[in-house]
Amino acid sequence: MIKEALTGHKGWTPAWRDVAPQAHYDYIVIGGGGHGLATAYYLARNHGAKRVAVLEKGWIGGGNVGRNTTIIRSNYLLDGNEPFYEHSLKLWEGLEQDLNYNAMVSQRGILNLIHSDAQRDAFTRRGNAMILNGADADLLSTKTIQKRYPFLNVDNARFPIKGGLAQHRGGTVRHDAVAWGYARAADQLGVDIIQNCEVTGFRIEGGACLGVDTSRGYIAGGKIAACVAGSSGRLMSKAGMRLPIESHVLQAFVSEGLKPVLPGVITFGAGHFYCSQSDKGGLVFGGDIDGYNSYAQRGNLPVVEDVCEGAMAIFPMLGRVRLLRMWGGIMDMSMDGSPIIDRTHIDGLYFNGGWCYGGFKATPASGWCYAHLLATDTPHEFAKAYRFDRFEKGQMIDEKGMGNNPQLH
């Protein structure tokens, strides 16, 4: 690195090979987002898989993995979720050493603000469930919050702050670095990463999936693993499947750079607004999804207004901060707000999706558990609740208790 710094950075080689697709792979992962790349990496690393390809229709990092607000946490209530997300957080904690890549994992903490007595009860219950599952949770009093976050108006605000649930191990991770780190590490283990290669159809014969048609020709595969997040509905319809998933746009925003003002991630409990500060100084924030189904990677103005209203309600000091950029990504919103990692009814075709807007934090565990399913044909113990048949059997994992309304999860 020192040599490159002194010689004008001319000697760097690409982080992963640019390969042409081969005729056959043992495993074909469709989608080069965080989850697809992590799946390929853990297939090679944990299960010794040799002939693995990741097919990405665009470029690595162009999907939600490079569009999210970078928050990681494991503050879930329900049994189906909490062990999975805690496993993910533990993997984040060792990720940089594992990949030998600086992903800027920053455990700066996350604080969910409490604004009513009922909310305190709910958050206490969630904190206790987290502790029972081996995660960390800390119920903070208003006094402690006032001391740690003096800029919050605890008494006179429109929504007085009555405490908060903190997870000190939560935080943020540089999202592009996650994509690049997994891609480089997978490539070093022999995984072929093929960009500009869109899957346009599945070859299904006698109830088994034999391969995929792509914009770069037909590729045969032993096991085909769909992992395309917001495009799940569109992709699986090519295999004749209709999923319990709707696609919606979620927007994110970043302000001009400021001196350090926010010590960690803070979420507003009386509206939908969450905010952290990037290492460059920009405030990174977001709120609700746009209120209609869409596959467009751009959002609409009513949500901008709604998010800014949330910001002003809890951080009036942001009123004079200038917005630098905003963008959108396509969310695969499932009916109960929880994901699916499962086989399909078609032999050799597997599915990973339904991450809603919480899938970034799940990236390592999702890859780990999906690779386990693909290699062993049995669900990983932390992902065994994420099955398709839970919708048939009524065994929902409805973390927010919102019912089958994907817009509200």
Ligand X SMILES: Cc1cc2nc3c(=O)[nH]c(=O)nc-3n(C[C@H](O)[C@H](O)[C@H](O)COP(=O)(O)OP(=O)(O)OC[C@H]3O[C@@H](n4cnc5c(N)ncnc54)[C@H](O)[C@@H]3O)c2cc1C
Interface positions with ligand X (CB under 6 A): 30-36, 55-58, 62-65, 67-71, 198-199, 227-231, 235, 250-252, 286, 329, 355, 357-361
Q: Which is nearer to ligand X, 118 or 334 (CB)?
A: 334
What residue type is 98 in one-letter code? D
Cβ-proximal residue to ligand X, closest one: 33
Q: Which is nearer to ligand X, 123 or 274 (CB)?
A: 274
Q: Which is nearer to ligand X, 56 or 342 (CB)?
A: 56
CB of 36 to ligand X, least distance (A): 5
Residues 6+ apart with CB under 8 A from 224: 28, 30, 202, 209, 211, 212, 348, 349, 350
Q: What is the dihedral of CA 19, 24, 29, 32, to 10 degrees?
A: 20
CB of 228 to ligand X, least distance (A): 4
Supply the DSSP string of 173-188, one letter for each residue: --HHHHHHHHHHHHHH
CB of 141 to ligand X, least distance (A): 27
CB of 84 to ligand X, least distance (A): 12
CB of 102 to ligand X, least distance (A): 19
Strand order in the sheet with 110-114: 138-140, 163-167, 110-114, 265-268, 273-277, 282-293, 245-257, 323-334
What tokens were used for 162? Answer: 């009555």
Neighbours of 262 (CB within 10 A): 18
What tokens were used for 359? Answer: 């899938």
Q: Which is nearer to ligand X, 62 or 222 (CB)?
A: 62
Q: Which is nearer to ligand X, 158 or 295 (CB)?
A: 295
Q: Enumerate the H helices of 254-378 as residue ranges.
A: 301-314, 363-376
CB of 81 to ligand X, least distance (A): 12
Neighbours of 208 (CB within 10 A): 11
Q: Which is nearer to ligand X, 270 or 365 (CB)?
A: 365
Q: How far is it, in rounded angstroms, from Cα 402 to Cα 390?
A: 16
CB of 129 to ligand X, least distance (A): 19
Q: Which is nearer to ligand X, 5 or 301 (CB)?
A: 301
Q: Which is nearer to ligand X, 34 or 163 (CB)?
A: 34
What tokens were used for 231? Answer: 């495009």
Q: How far is it, in rounded angstroms, from Cα 50 to Cα 26?
A: 8
CB of 354 to ligand X, least distance (A): 9
Q: How far apart are the first and last CA of the chain?
A: 45
Q: Which is nearer to ligand X, 63 or 269 (CB)?
A: 63
CB of 149 to ligand X, least distance (A): 20
Contact 274, 286 (CB under 8 A): yes
User: Over the range 86-124, which residues count as b (16 or more CB within 10 Å of their CB) and which as e?
Assistant: bbbbbbbeebbebbebebbbbbebbbbbbbeeebbebbe
